[in-house]
Structure 1
Amino acid sequence: MTSNDVETAVSRLQSRIPASLYEVAWQYSMFDWYSSRQSTALDFDLDPEHLAYLTPSAKSSLFGEPDSLVVVYADLSDPDSPHLRPDEAGGPVEITTYTEDDRFRVGHAYPESKTSSMTDYSITTHKNADAHHIAGLRDDAWGTNNIRDRFTGWAQSEYAEAVLDDVDGAEHEILSALTELGEDQNAMERLSDSFLNLVSDEEEEIDALITVRIKLPGSDDWKFPGEIPILNEVMRAKKADRLQSISVEEASGEGTGFVSNNDSTVTGGSPGLFGMYGKKQREHFANLDTKGSSAWRARPLEFDTAAAVASAGSLFDDFSRGLGSSRRLYILPYLAARFSEIEEGTFEWFYDRIYTRLRDADSGAEGSFDDTAEDLFAEADRVNDYADAENDSQTEHDVAFSARSDAAWDKVRFAVVHQVSGNPDRVFFNTLDGVSPAVQLENAHNQITGSAAFDSDGIFNDSPKPESSPLLGRGLSLVRYILYGGYFRRTTEPTRSSREASETPGAGDIDDSRMRRVRNLLTETRIDSTSLLEEYIHQLVQDQNEQFGNDNGYISFPKRSVVEQYAQIHALATMGVLDTKKTIPFTHAHMPDEFEDRDARLDDFIANHGALSGDAEQAVFTLGGLVGRISAFQSYENVSSTLIRRYPVDYLTKQTIKEVTKEVLQMNNSYAEAEENRSYQTNSRYTTRLADTMLSADPQSWRLTESELQWLYSLGIAYGLSDSSLYEEEEETEDEAEAEA
């Protein structure tokens, strides 16, 4: 590697800030070229434009395998008398082992989507067939990709002829001599016979690359195709033509390159990215093109760009993580800057510190991809927040680049793509800046879990225990959890009767239930609070039903789930991404950190939460609070049929709330009268407020939806279960069981 490689890579970046995944793909092609230049296997000059079309890792499964490389030797040292290598010098062909060090030299260009009749782009091809086939003796239409048609087919193709017309000198001699060899029937028969002499019989199966080593005019050295520019140029021409001729008519035209912004011949024949804007897609705008077949109008790309896009799929795969059920998330870091704004040192820093680390991380379930991604997110957030750039996790490379790291991080963005594979593969969302919104939500969430409600005197302080949940606690690292969908999947369910979120979206689904709110967040579309509350209730009902079937000694109520939802919905409201036009608001104000007693704490909680600003809302919440208080007492007294079991979350409606209120108040009075040593005066904070608010209007006239009513009821229960003494109050000593599950 030389410093000139960095200069070349930077100079080939875009002159504008990447504005689509296509620009990201082009940038990745430059990182891939730079990576190739660093390899000790690339010890010869290889034009970047040619490398962009090659696929050096396409058949990596053959590395080190015996009999995995078939090499034909063509002596063109005298271009007027081309011949195969004589027997005394080793014969015209050998079967050897394909190694990782050979991957650039062989100059192999593999089709992105291989079919049984795949196109030979490069003179090096791949075949897994019997020896009879590879010897070139099969005479039907399927007998391609063999040692003879390297000369009779590839070297005599229209693409080789077109390149031949544009060159002279030694390059012209090379192509002409290869063609002449292909026309020499005796030489081709000798080649087939020599190959069959190397195998046990004609039925022996061979899985190998087939290539040609050439002794160039006036030279004594044997060169592989990748080392010969004119052969790479034929490959490039053939692959470029394929980008405009396959499956579509009029796939190219004169236009402006979508990525390069240059006026030139452009094509729409690329395979697209993630199945989007592929060559088989037709015109979507009526009357713009009456023929409906000019694919280049939809997404015009210069041919070099189209080649980069064609190879980007395999590059992007190294930056992806399977999420189960055919779901895959791509996290694609890139430099959000113009090439004129990127210093060579910044390019090296990004390649080494970010690109290479994430590319090389194992994306398996037990791999390092998750931790690596989380480390990068944390470092980006730390630098962007102007925190101290030096910490214990820095590597020697970080220290070496410390002078530029903080400024360079400002140019880093993470594109995020969520794809569900199937027939067809579908992208449910993509964004060029997926991490920033997730970081903002993480900060908002930590602001909520660090607020007075979770502080020392707060109602949810250690209730439930922070370590029992990934959404509770202080200073949580949530970015990866958000991007992977767990942040919303933990708190919501699409229906009350099944776990649909674990299912793969069907062919007709327009969204992925498990990731729809991640899409909202990352694409800056507001999250509908109506459907969010509905799915909150679905989750609570399923959780509560599961707990009703478990006899684990805890109160059968999903308090932890409610508190997680409380933190989440207020974090979303704080961030400003929640659409509450049709629901109660979820604003909250700063509350004091200390309270005189539980009455003051309840008053402050209600006063500082927008969702509890109306009489109806307060009535439902305080009813739930009283149910929680009584159920805690019942659990302490080993009463199995608690009020929570009698009046579960989904029982409460506008039609049943009067009945429930009456029964709860009667039971509260009964316990107060029966317990001589227990004061129920503390519950008056609920009963007094409940009576006042419940009588202010007929519940049938409330504007609350059923989901709002049931969620406020759940929040009240969670509050009541946690409403134990702030201090050792004389009038009441409690040691009540808590529901931590």
Structure 2
Amino acid sequence: MLSPEEFRQTYPNGELLNELPNSPVSSLRDIQYLYGTLFTLATTGGGPYAPYLTPDAAGDLIDEPDSLIVVRVDVSGTAPEFASDSKGPVWVTKYTDALVPKVAHCKYPAARGIDHSITHQAGKNSDPEKLARYAKERLSKWASNSVVQEAAAEHDDGWIIDSLAELGEDETALEQLGDDVQASLSGSTTALLTVQIKVDTDGPYQWPGDLDVTMAAMRSRKLSKLVSKGEASNSTGEATDLITGAQTRTVGTAQDPLNYFLGKQLEKFPGFDPDEAWRTHPISEDAAITLMNAEPFIDACSYRTFGARVYYLPYFFGNPTVEDTYRLYELLYDTLEEDDEKSGLTPIETAYQFREDVPLDENSLRFYVSAIMPHQMSRFDVFGETMNGRIQYPASVATAHRDMLRTAAFKSGVDRTAALPTHEKWPLLSGDDFLGLVASGSYFYQTFPTGDDDTDASADDPRIKALVAVLSGDPLPVSSLLDSYVDRIIDDSGDDDHGFPVFRVASQYAQLCALASAPHTFLEATGTQQPVAEPPTYDSRTMPDITEPIADGGFAGAEKLESFIKDTPALASNDERCASFLLGALVGAVGNYQEHKHNRSTTLVDQFPVQAVTSNRIKKVTESAIEKTITYTRQEKKGDASYPGTKFDYIVDRLRRRVINPDPDDWELDTADLRFYYALGLTYGMNDRPQTSNSETEQPNTATN
């Protein structure tokens, strides 16, 4: 394949412009056609037969010993015969780059059957006997094929193929050919088998790529598979090509690199007749082949996650210009090379790096985005689809997430811990580069429920839907996001070995804030949930330093809590949600106190898990938590008469005001909303402590679930 520099040199402005579509890119088919055109130009060059060749199919045989077996036939005389010159009827040589266009290989991607071209690719390490059979079949099977014979009948030089077929009927000659092939080989090998033909008495032996008749026959064989594939026996007719707009012969069952339009998917098209597919999905013969050639680039611009394949196909909006096409080819080439090297980067990361290295009009560079889930043989479901994806979408979420971890919500001050904990072993709570996590789907794997299968998505899996939404710039409903968060929290809370999942909740909240803070609108909400979609205003600095002595959190704890609520729109604008958060904060603080001060194995956090909290139970849980707080305050005063106030009074006072008015029985807050912010409060309370003490009792819950 040509490097980007070689591509520019081989196809200067005017010449490349002649190869490009003269219409804007407006559909997936347009993208595939453009990709196929670029791949063809970069591998086989121009010409009417270039799209039909598959030069990369045997690319691993280049410069390998005994990788090309050539049967040499002389048809210039009165009867066809095998060559009798110094090279003889069989020539075993090395397949080289220079021979690629001459051999003109066209692979038939099937486990059995001969290739479309007279050149055939043998299996890996085929033994001499099998290679001898393949050599004989170049004449006895390929030349006599009905489609090849039809093409020969319509071609002025069809007699050449007829001569090959005639020789293929000579059993004695074929037997001798087989012996010659085996005698020419020293053992098993992987090779291409082809035929050189002498047409004129005084002329040279010519390769298949030198003869129009062999190329025309190859083209006919490949096209025949487009009209009789699957359930279709003859899906072809005169129609307007949906890609080029030309009135021409079209086929209806063209191979699709994304498996979107399959004759077997009858349940998707009730009453569909595959033979009539050319009427509803007409693609010209040459365009259909070009689409197939797009596969290497399309595969390189895709990756697997949750059992689905995500496609992220770049293109430039509008009519392709020469300069944009050069840059697109460079991006596709780089992505393909990255894919070949198994670098582990997603196509999104490759595109982002390319964007940093090469100046691009970011408003012009777009991406087709979709995710396709295979269910069984030739059955696929599509999760979301857009032509308007942009690299800025996932990149902006990654940047917003990084910036959120640098705010006071996650960075501790000198005297007090941060509102929420971080941990170097948690992917969403440490580091600076989150683009790979966003692009790969791990971003939502860390925060959403895993379902029945830990890795593979189901048909309605929210993880894959969320991933496609972020890649394509579509907003996520806050309600479904909170539902997913709470389901995961409840799943994790059932793990008795690790306790309440504080780091999971902190990861979820960092993600929620990132989606709300990114420049693009990634969240949508209505009614009471609208503030949840608003970005918080946490200071990028840490909590202010407090130097005066503070008993049990005192002023520093109160200021930190007040600041967190004020800077969180979801809490500042809704007393019900704030009350749920404060209740969680109190339960978390008391539970932490019980565990570390009194060495209790079962705490208030265990007594009031997330799944047990509803608006009907809020008042009861609040009363229990405050009562427990007062009990511990009395115990502290017995041991120290000078102990001031009430334990955790900076939480208790705020909680009382919000739970009493309005009465929780009249709350309108959604249950998932209430539970998530209760869980956030638990995480806050369990992480809230002075920084001045290094005692074991002051350490946070370090569960890693």
TM-score tier by shorter-chain length is 0.7 to 0.9
- Mapping 1:47-62, distance limit 5 Å: 47-60=46-59
SS of alignment partner, residue 662 of structure 1: helix
State the shift of 1:717 in Å: 1.6
Contact 1:57-1:103 at 8 Å conserved across structures:
no
User: Which residue of 1 is the match for residue 497 of structure 2?
Assistant: 549
Structure-2 change in CA distance of 1:286 and 1:267 (3 Å) = same
Q: Among 423, 426, 449, which residue is 1:493 paired with? A: 449
The answer for the alignment partner of 2:228 in structure 1 is 245
CA distance in 2, matches of 1:379, 1:153: 48
2:11 maps to which residue? 5
2:332 to 343, 355, 362: 355
User: Which stretch of structure 1 is more off in the superposition, 215-224 or 699-708?
Assistant: 215-224
* Residue type of the alignment partner of 2:165: G
TM-score (norm 2): 0.83
Residue 639 (structure 1) aligns with: 599
Q: Secondary structure at the match of 1:493?
A: coil
8 Å contact from structure 2 (residues 152, 162) kept in 1: no
Question: How far off is 1:276 after superposition?
Answer: 0.9
Tell me, in whole angstroms, the C-alpha distance in 1 between the residues paired with 2:282 and 2:78. 44
CA RMSD, Structure 1 to Structure 2 (Å): 3.8
Alpha-carbon deviation of 1:479?
A: 2.9
Q: Secondary structure at the match of 1:332?
A: strand
Which residue is equivalent to 1:657?
Answer: 618
Structure 2 vs 1, CA of residues 192 and 131 (structure 1 numbering), >3 Å: closer, same or farther?
farther
Aligned runs of 1:133-172 on 2, under 5 Å? 146-157=134-145, 159-160=147-148, 163-164=151-152, 168=156, 172=157
Are 2:102 and 2:207, in contact at CA under 8 Å, matched by a contact in 1?
yes
* Kept in 2: contact 1:628–1:717 (CA 8 A): yes
SS in 1 for 2:52: coil
Aligned to 1:428: 383
Kindly report which structure 2 residues correspond to 1:210-289, keeping only aligned pairs within 5 A, or say none.
Answer: 210-217=193-200, 220-246=203-229, 247-249=231-233, 251-281=235-265
Whether contact under 8 Å (1:151, 1:181) holds in the other structure is: yes
For 1:532-547, list aligned pairs within 5 A. 532-546=481-495
Deviation at 1:601, TM superposition (A): 3.5
- What does the per-residue CA deviation read over 1:661-718, in whole Å, with 9 as the maximum and x for residues that have no partner? 2221122112222222654557222111212222224433322233222211111122
Q: CA deviation at 1:147?
A: 3.5
CA contact (8 A) 2:62 2:95 kept: yes
What is the match of residue 576 of structure 1? 521
Aligned residue among 463, 487, 504 for 1:514: 463
Counterpart Cα distance in 2 of 1:599 and 1:734: 23
CA shift in 2, pair 1:457/1:375, >3 Å: farther
Amino acid at match of 1:351: Y
- The answer to whether 1:738 aligns with 2:700 is yes
Question: Aligned with 1:57: secondary structure?
Answer: coil
Supply the distance in 2 between the matched residues of 1:530 and 1:185 (Cα, whole angstroms): 71
Name the SS of the counterpart of 1:370 in structure 2: coil
Residue in structure 1 matching 2:577, options 617, 635, 660: 617
Q: 1:528 to 1:18 in 2, by over 3 A?
A: same
Q: Is the 8 A contact 1:283 1:298 kept in 2?
A: no
Between the aligned partners of 1:17 and 1:456, the Cα distance in structure 2 is 53
Distance in 1 (alpha carbons) for counterparts of 2:656 and 2:404: 31
- Against the structure 1 CA distance between its residues 3 and 362, is the aligned structure 2 distance closer, same or farther, given a 3 Å change threshold? closer
Aligned-partner residue type, residue 488 of structure 1: F
1:196 aligns with 2:179: yes
Distance 1:371 1:15 in 2: 31
**Letter of the structure 2 residue corresponding to residue 602 of structure 1:** L
Residues 525 and 501 of structure 1: CA distance in aligned 2, closer, same or farther (over 3 Å): farther
User: Is the 8 Å Cα contact of residues 371 and 384 (structure 2) preserved in structure 1?
Assistant: yes
What is the Cα deviation at residue 440 of structure 1?
Answer: 3.3
Instruction: Tell me if the contact between 1:428 and 1:512 (Cα under 8 Å) persists in the aligned partners.
Output: no
Task: Kindly tell me the number of residue pairs found equivalent between the two proteins.
Answer: 666
CA apart distance, 1:5: 2.9
**Cα distance in 1, alignment partners of residues 322 and 184 from structure 2:** 59
> Corresponding residue for 1:716?
681
Q: How far, CA to CA, are the matches of 1:9 and 1:512 in structure 2?
A: 44
CA contact (8 A) 1:529 1:583 kept: no
8 Å contact kept, 2:198–2:205: yes
Which among 326, 349, 363 is matched to residue 374 of structure 1?
A: 349
Q: Are 2:663 and 1:704 equivalent residues in the alignment? A: no
Inter-partner Cα distance in structure 2 for 1:589 and 1:120: 62
SS of 2:250's equivalent in the other structure is strand
1:412 to 365, 372, 375: 365
In the other structure, the counterpart of 2:120 is: 125
2:428 counterpart of 1:465: no
User: Share of identical aligned residues, percent?
Assistant: 24
The structure-2 alpha-carbon separation of the partners of 1:47 and 1:371, relative to structure 1 and needing over 3 Å to count, comes to closer
Task: Tell me the SS of whatever aligns to 1:105.
Answer: helix
CA distance, structure 2, for counterparts of residue 219 and residue 696 of structure 1: 105
Residue of structure 1 in register with 2:547 after alignment = none
2:396, 2:18 → 1: CA distance?
A: 34
CA distance in 2, matches of 1:322, 1:185: 47
| CA spacing shift, 1:412–1:248, aligned 2, 3 Å | same
SS of residue in 2 equivalent to 1:269: coil
**Partner letter of residue 441 of structure 1?**
V
How do 1:651-690 and structure 2 match up within 5 A? 651-675=612-636, 676=640, 678-681=643-646, 683-690=648-655
The SS at the match of 1:259 is coil
1:134 and 1:455 map into 2 onto residues whose CA distance is: 69
Amino acid aligned to 1:611: A
Matched, 1:31 2:8: no
Alpha carbons of 1:422 and 1:218: their partners in 2 closer, same or farther (altered >3 Å)?
farther
Residues 211, 409 of structure 1: CA spacing in aligned structure 2 closer, same or farther, 3 A cutoff? Answer: farther
Closer/same/farther in 2, CA of residues 208 and 533 from structure 1, 3 Å limit:
same
Aligned to 1:342: 322
Of residues 299, 304, 319, the one that matches 1:317 is 299
**Cα drift, residue 362 of structure 1:** 4.3
The answer to whether the 8 Å contact 1:70/1:208 transfers is: yes
1:335-378 Cα offsets, whole Å, 9 max, x none, are 44423x223xx5444434x22222112468xx314178525314
Cα distance in 2 for residues equivalent to 1:477 and 1:297: 49
Change over 3 Å in CA distance of 1:227–1:694 after alignment to 2: same
Report the CA distance between 1:72 and its aligned residue.
1.0
Tell me what 2:308 maps to.
327
Instruction: Provide the rounded CA distance (Å) in 2 between the counterparts of 1:200 and 1:150.
Output: 18
**Distance of aligned partners of 1:286 and 1:492 in 2 relative to their CA distance in 1, 3 Å threshold:** closer
Deviations 1:280-330 (A, max 9, x none): 45596679x8x674111332212111012223334433343343x643334
Distance 1:328 1:194 in 2: 47
CA contact (8 A) 1:570 1:588 kept: yes
- Correspondence for 1:478: 434
- Relative distance call for 1:107 and 1:733 in structure 2 (3 A) is closer
Q: In the alignment, what sits opposite 2:3?
A: none
Deviation at 1:198, TM superposition (A): 4.1
| 2:477 paired residue among 519, 523, 528 | 528
Deviation at 1:162, TM superposition (A): 5.2
CA spacing shift, 1:240–1:362, aligned 2, 3 Å: closer
Deviation of 1:49 (Å): 3.4
Task: Give structure 2 stretches of 5+ with no counterpart.
Answer: 1-5, 545-554
